[in-house]
Amino acid sequence: MYQETIITACLTLAWGCDGARILGLAAFSMRSHWIVMEPLFQELAARGHNVTVLSSFPQKTPLPNYTDIDFSDRLKPIMNEFSVEMIRKRVSSPWATTFFFRDVHGDSCKVLDEPEYQNLLKAQDQYDLVITEVFGSDCFAYYAHKLNIPMIAVTTSMAMPWAADRFGMPDNPSYILNYFQRFGPDMSLWERIYNTVTLLYGKFWHLWIFSRETQAMVEKSFGEPLPPVDVVVANTSMYFINSYHALLQSRPYPPNVVEVGGIHIKKRKPLSKDLQEILDNAKQGAIIMSFGSLVRAATLPKPIIMMFMKVFSKIPQTVIFKYEEDLPEAPPNVVIRKWLSQRDLIEHKNVIAVIQHGGLSSTIEAVHFGKPMIGIPFFADQKGNIKHLERRDTCIQLDFDNLSEEAVSTAVSEIINNPKYTENMRRLSEQFRDRPMTALQSAVYWTEYVIRHHGAPHLQPASVHLPFYQYLLLDVVAIFVISLLALIYALYFLVSRTLAALGWNAAKSVKQAKASKKIN
């Protein structure tokens, strides 16, 4: 503890800058997104910056330097709101997921007409920095433009397909997997084709269609003509991504893009007395089963729930299951709770495995604490997250559409009894934790760097402002092609003229020879 205090003090001296006025626009009301952004706001306030946050998640206890503007009555927090059937119907493919993101995040843009947001338009010289989220819509990026201040964007998942161009991130689909994919990095020809098509599809709709809708919506709210979205977001100073190369994929990032995967992992809070006793007494080990804060586990088909209960009844381990309703059919070794803090549970030494959906924050928690997983992904990036762990032998994936008692029983037995999963996950955990700074320290350092250097435009690659034909060297290729064609034509012209001349001379010689013979 003493060492941590010394380190924190040293970092404060090293990074310190005068207290800035920071505006946090976290209007997207999913709790799984908020938990990634909240620690940064809290830490910036703790370091003396004046932080004003507009969100649906006000602090339970007021914090110094932290001002909440509560929107929970107008943007209801999304927790346990979605049924499994609805998610699988609306987000069944990359094509549908693109529109789902637009619709869900676009709904949050409706707050632009609220008085608190309208007042921001008059807040010239009141803020030094905007922090907002990159997900479906870019409507909140216009506040940085309007207030003429730097902006930091946060993505609570891996990088979104449409974010690459605005930050100068390479996204070559020959080896870089996009958000929608479940493949490994060594893709087959078909997988590379699919990866390319879904990447271009997501970019097309977001950059060419949705961005125009966003611009029209913001212009209506602001009451004035505004630049296109691509011009506004191209001036983003920094991009924080909730990923880390040890967990997902190693890929090149420019200096204005920083991975902060694990930023949401805070110090452990004490468990309730009953859960603490349950885990302490789980001498055979405990398994945590949770499908996150978005999907209601109680909406799983009843036969699937009963199938899991039957499998659990045959093992000696304790199972703690997040289930939002009463479940009288649960066997004695299954503990039902309507809400669980997975982070606080899985750190316990007796927890030996986690069964979950593959949401990125939940996956990061399992990796951070070295707990092997059984993954049952439903939608979006969950299949890809599980795939990255599966290829490292730290996780077993089950297909929701083909769940059977035998498949579940085999997976549970394998994850419990085969030590390779625990050993590999602990190795991955060491790689994930081994960094020069924690994720939160990195985010704070680069936030203050942007403040100190007035937006740090020197970090931005020149590619951000290049037309696509220059970025892809199409003009250079065109010059090469034209030059090559001109050279080929010149050679053709020269050769054909030469051959024609030689042919004419030869023909002339033949005619002269024939003429001589006739005379003779």
Domain boundaries, the chain: 18-264+437-465, 273-433, 472-499
Burial label for 142, CB within 10 Å (0-12, 13-18, 19+), is: buried
Residue 4 pLDDT > 60: no
pLDDT digits (tens, 9 = 90+) for 411-468: 999 999 999 999 999 999 999 999 999 999 999 999 999 999 999 999 999 999 888 8
Q: What is the pTM of this model?
A: 0.87
Residue 10 pLDDT > 60: no
Q: Say which CATH class 273-433 falls into.
A: alpha beta
Residue 156 pLDDT > 90: no
Q: Which pair of structure tokens corresponds to residue 424?
A: 């590999």
Give the DSSP letter of residue 57: -
Q: Which pair of structure tokens corresponds to residue 15?
A: 């990074």
Q: Domain 18-264+437-465 falls in which CATH fold?
A: Rossmann fold (3.40.50)
**High-pLDDT (> 90) share of the chain, %:** 53
Do 18-264+437-465 and 273-433 fold alike per CATH? Answer: yes
pLDDT digits (tens, 9 = 90+) for 488-501: 999 998 988 887 77
Residue 14 has a pLDDT of 46
Mean pLDDT of 241-269: 91
- Three-state SS string over 77-127 comes to CECCCECHHHHHHHCCCHHHHHHHHHHHHHHHHHHHHCHHHHHHCCCCCCC
Q: Residue 361 belongs to what H/E stretch?
A: helix 360-368
Query: Cβ distance 101 to 82 under 8 Å?
Result: no
Nearest to 108 by CA among 147, 137, 81: 137
Q: Which pair of structure tokens corresponds to residue 441?
A: 């320290």
Task: Give dist(CA 35, CA 39) in Å, integer.
Answer: 7
Count CB atoms within 10 A of the CB of residue 317.
Answer: 18
